[in-house]
């Protein structure tokens, strides 16, 4: 019988280990060999500090892999890979899920309102951030452009500060469990519920020539996105609360029939991100799909473009920098300035007391340039490092698939699908 001191990522992947023997040791709980000094050196600190929990988790995982993969060898290979790679959750963290569509270009609002605040959440949560490209095709897309935007979005995740070692950053389309679970959940969702979804009505009005079934069942796929990872919390804005509610309804309905299968997700209530409005219409959010190019600041806009857009920003005739509801355009610019500089609205009012809108707009534009420059530089560097991005895509897809399959196999068994013959 081979020693588990010989088990490494390299020889496991090359199938140079007596994998059945590894399985036998894991199955009977003989993990003292696993937890020897040689192997501990490559295990994460969290594993080393929680040996008993690690043993239990490993045995459970082994059982699931034995009955959930194509072959014993494949299953145990991945078990050992995940153990050594420290990918299994052993810290008892709650799970957080969120994602963005790979359509259009991310705006300053996306960054200040969401992406910037995601960076520190991995300290508290096990975070899954998806590039939700399955959602994107409810509207006709140019295939080459969609692939480009999906990769750019994942790269922007990293450039913005999301560490792919601490967060799972992946393409939704690389995890088939999203689509598989969505179909099952469709069968537990009522037409009346979907008819009431306001976002469907809004999108149907904008795309009257392409009101497809995917657009109608969009909320079910979103529910699958969340429930697939047993997410405890989901960061949502007011416009997404309805989707989270239907997710909760579907999960509770399924659990009511089959028992406790899904975690019921809650909205994430954390540090509020800046609510950034359109530069041309401060009554609506800054949007990457806005037809007016001057309405939004895109993360990859060059400094001259950023300054020009702020110079054209809608203000008013009062000619004073005041944070008050009667001046929505100025309020929005103050919010942007404060989010970029760390100053308060009161400090901003004092700084620009007696100064005109021209000076204020220029200062806001320059503060945005200063915030976006490091992100843009990091994005450019990452874009040149194709091998690194490819590695992130591959490894994070493996991690996402692992957790997704845990839930999917459980759901399939509950609804009565026949087990695969091994």
Give the domain CATH number at 225. Answer: 3.40.50.620
Based on the fold, state whether residues 399 and 338 are members of the same structural domain: no
Active site residues: 203, 285, 288
Residue 212 has pLDDT above 80, yes or no: no
Residue 411 · residue 261 · CB < 8 Å: yes
Q: Which position has the higher pLDDT, 139 or 109?
A: 109
User: What distance in Å separates the CA atoms of residue 45 and residue 267, rounded to the nearest whole number?
Assistant: 31
Token digits for 52?
A: 């008993």
Token digits for 166?
A: 């601490």
Based on the fold, state whether residues 233 and 351 are members of the same structural domain: no
User: What distance in Å separates the CA atoms of residue 412 and residue 408, rounded to the nearest whole number?
Assistant: 6
Based on the fold, state whether residues 141 and 179 are members of the same structural domain: yes
DSSP state for residue 418 in the 8-state scheme: P
Closest CA to 360 of 380, 331, 395: 331
User: What distance in Å separates the CA atoms of residue 366 and residue 388, rounded to the nearest whole number?
Assistant: 32
Based on the fold, state whether residues 115 and 77 are members of the same structural domain: no
Cα distances (angstroms) measured from residue 127 to each of 53, 269, 393, 402? 21, 15, 16, 14
**Helical ranges in 41-186 per DSSP H:** 45-48, 51-68, 72-85, 108-110, 116-118, 133-136, 143-159, 177-186
User: What distance in Å separates the CA atoms of residue 161 and residue 321, rounded to the nearest whole number?
Assistant: 33
User: What distance in Å separates the CA atoms of residue 280 and residue 298, rounded to the nearest whole number?
Assistant: 14
User: What distance in Å separates the CA atoms of residue 348 and residue 338, rounded to the nearest whole number?
Assistant: 8
User: What distance in Å separates the CA atoms of residue 51 and residue 207, rounded to the nearest whole number?
Assistant: 55
- The residues pairing with 170 across neighbouring beta strands, listed in sequence order, are 130
In a domain, 274, yes or no: no
Starting from the edge strand earliest in sequence, which strands make up the sheet with 94-100, in order? 167-171, 125-131, 94-100, 233-234, 266-267
CATH number at residue 309: 1.10.240.10
Based on the fold, state whether residues 128 and 244 are members of the same structural domain: yes
**Which DSSP helix (H) or strand (E) runs through 393?**
helix 386-415
Q: Residue 104: which pLDDT band, with cuts at 50, 70 and 90?
A: low
Average pLDDT over the chain, rounded to an integer: 80
Q: Which position has the higher pLDDT, 335 or 274?
A: 335
Token digits for 259?
A: 């028992």
- The SS3 assignment for 293 reads helix
Based on the fold, state whether residues 249 and 318 are members of the same structural domain: no
Based on the fold, state whether residues 207 and 128 are members of the same structural domain: yes
Domain that holds residue 341: 293-383
- The SS3 assignment for 245 reads helix
Q: Residue 32: its pLDDT value, please?
A: 44
Q: Which position has the higher pLDDT, 311 or 68?
A: 311
In a domain, 313, yes or no: yes
Q: Residue 123: its pLDDT value, please?
A: 87
Residue 211 has pLDDT above 50, yes or no: yes
Q: Residue 242: its pLDDT value, please?
A: 80
Based on the fold, state whether residues 65 and 144 are members of the same structural domain: no
- Tell how many helices (H) and how many strands (E) occur in the chain: 21, 5
Based on the fold, state whether residues 114 and 234 are members of the same structural domain: yes
Based on the fold, state whether residues 323 and 368 are members of the same structural domain: yes
Q: For 21-25, 42-46, 411-415, which range has the lowest pLDDT when averaged over its residues?
A: 42-46
Q: Residue 166: its pLDDT value, please?
A: 92
Token digits for 7?
A: 């088990």
| Residue finishing a domain among 51, 67, 85 | 85
In a domain, 221, yes or no: yes
User: What distance in Å separates the CA atoms of residue 178 and residue 173, rounded to the nearest whole number?
Assistant: 8
In a domain, 275, yes or no: no
Phi/psi of residue 3, nearest 5 degrees: -80, 145
Token digits for 277?
A: 């409005």
In a domain, 277, yes or no: no
Triad 138, 216, 143: Cα angle to 5°: 10
DSSP state for residue 155 in the 8-state scheme: H
Phi/psi of residue 101, nearest 5 degrees: -75, 145
In a domain, 287, yes or no: no
Question: Taking the C-alpha atoms of 24, 29, 30 and 31 in order, what is their torsion angle to the nearest 10 degrees?
Answer: 110
DSSP state for residue 189 in the 8-state scheme: S
In a domain, 273, yes or no: no
Task: Report the range out of 57-66, 101-110, 180-189 with the highest average pLDDT.
Answer: 180-189
Q: Residue 41: its pLDDT value, please?
A: 40
Number of domains in the chain: 3
Based on the fold, state whether residues 122 and 226 are members of the same structural domain: yes
In a domain, 283, yes or no: no
**Helical ranges in 291-385 per DSSP H:** 303-311, 328-341, 345-351, 357-384
| Residue finishing a domain among 55, 85, 115 | 85
Based on the fold, state whether residues 62 and 115 are members of the same structural domain: no
Residue 275 has pLDDT above 90, yes or no: no
């Amino acid at each position: 019988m081979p020693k588990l001191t010989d088990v490494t990522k390299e020889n496991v992947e090359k199938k140079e280990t007596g994998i059945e023997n590894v399985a036998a040791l894991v199955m009977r709980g003989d993990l003292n060999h696993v937890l020897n000094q040689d192997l501990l050196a490559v295990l994460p600190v969290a594993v080393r500090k929680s040996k008993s929990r690690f043993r239990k988790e490993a045995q459970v995982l082994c059982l699931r892999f034995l009955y959930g993969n194509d072959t014993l060898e494949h299953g145990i290979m991945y078990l050992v890979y995940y153990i050594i790679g420290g990918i299994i959750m052993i810290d008892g963290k709650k799970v957080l899920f969120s994602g963005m569509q790979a359509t259009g270009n991310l705006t300053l609002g996306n960054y200040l309102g969401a992406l910037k605040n995601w960076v520190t959440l991995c300290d508290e949560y096990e975070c899954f951030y998806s590039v939700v490209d399955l959602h994107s095709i409810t509207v006709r897309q140019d295939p080459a452009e969609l692939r480009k935007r999906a990769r750019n979005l994942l790269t922007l995740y990293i450039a913005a500060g999301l560490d792919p070692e601490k967060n799972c950053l992946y393409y939704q389309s690389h995890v088939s469990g999203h689509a598989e679970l969505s179909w099952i959940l469709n069968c537990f969702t009522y037409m009346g519920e979907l008819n009431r979804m306001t976002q469907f009505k809004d999108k149907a009005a904008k795309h009257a020539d392409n009101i497809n079934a995917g657009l109608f069942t969009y909320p079910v796929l979103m529910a699958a996105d969340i429930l697939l990872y047993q997410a405890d919390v989901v960061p949502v804005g007011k416009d997404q609360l309805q989707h989270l509610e239907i997710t909760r309804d579907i999960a509770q309905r399924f659990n009511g029939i089959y028992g406790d299968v899904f975690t019921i997700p809650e909205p994430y209530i954390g540090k509020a991100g800046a609510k950034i409005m359109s530069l041309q219409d401060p009554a609506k959010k800054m949007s990457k799909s806005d037809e007016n190019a001057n309405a939004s600041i895109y993360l990859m806009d060059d400094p001259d473009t950023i300054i020009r857009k702020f110079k054209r920003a809608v203000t008013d005739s009062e000619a004073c920098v005041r944070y008050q509801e009667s001046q929505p355009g100025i309020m929005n610019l103050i919010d942007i300035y404060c989010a970029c500089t760390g100053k308060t609205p009161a400090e901003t009012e004092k700084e620009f007391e007696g100064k005109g809108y021209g000076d204020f707009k220029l200062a806001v534009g320059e503060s945005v340039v200063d915030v976006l420059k490091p992100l843009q530089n990091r994005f450019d560097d990452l874009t040149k490092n194709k091998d690194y991005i490819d590695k992130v895509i591959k490894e994070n897809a493996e991690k996402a698939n692992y957790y997704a399959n845990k839930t999917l196999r459980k759901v399939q068994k509950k609804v009565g699908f026949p087990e695969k013959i091994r």
